[in-house]
Amino acid sequence: MTAPPHNILVVDDEYASLEVLALLLTGAGFQLYTAADGQEALERLAEAPIALVITDYKMPRMDGSELCLRMLADPRFENIPVIFSSATYRQDVPRPKNVVAFFNKPLLFKDVLSAVHRILNSAPSP
């Protein structure tokens, strides 16, 4: 019997970025949920058990940092690991404690996939 796929939420206001990550991750066997900003991401988090969030930093309505802080403040979401991806966020800037990896855009897909597998294999199931 195979394990059910991990649910991953990808958050980005750029449709092309969402599409590329969706193709990469569904091709690797993950179940994908998407959101265009942090506010929509919070709604998605409430809809399904999410094992990992990959979010852009700079987005309208609610950016990635605010999303992470809201997740940390909610007991339902506080233990979900987050990967930041951004073309504008500097890695040396302090970030919320639930951010476990950071990737500059354009993304190197093998690195992202490797990090996703590493994080999900070390995290408890949702």
Tens of pLDDT, residue by residue over 86-120, are 877 666 666 788 998 888 777 778 888 999 999 99
Give the number of domains in the chain: 1
113 found inside a domain: yes
Domain of residue 21 covers 13-121
6 found inside a domain: no
Closest CA to 102 of 86, 120, 114, 122: 86
4 found inside a domain: no
- Give the helix/strand (H/E) hosting 33: strand 31-35
Q: What pLDDT does 1 receive?
A: 34
7 found inside a domain: no
Residue spans of the chain under pLDDT 70: 1-5, 89-94, 123-126
70 found inside a domain: yes
103 found inside a domain: yes
What global pTM score does this model have? 0.88
The domain that holds 40 is classified in CATH as 3.40.50.2300
5 found inside a domain: no
What are the angstrom distances between the C-alpha of 103 and each of 83, 111, 126? 8, 9, 24
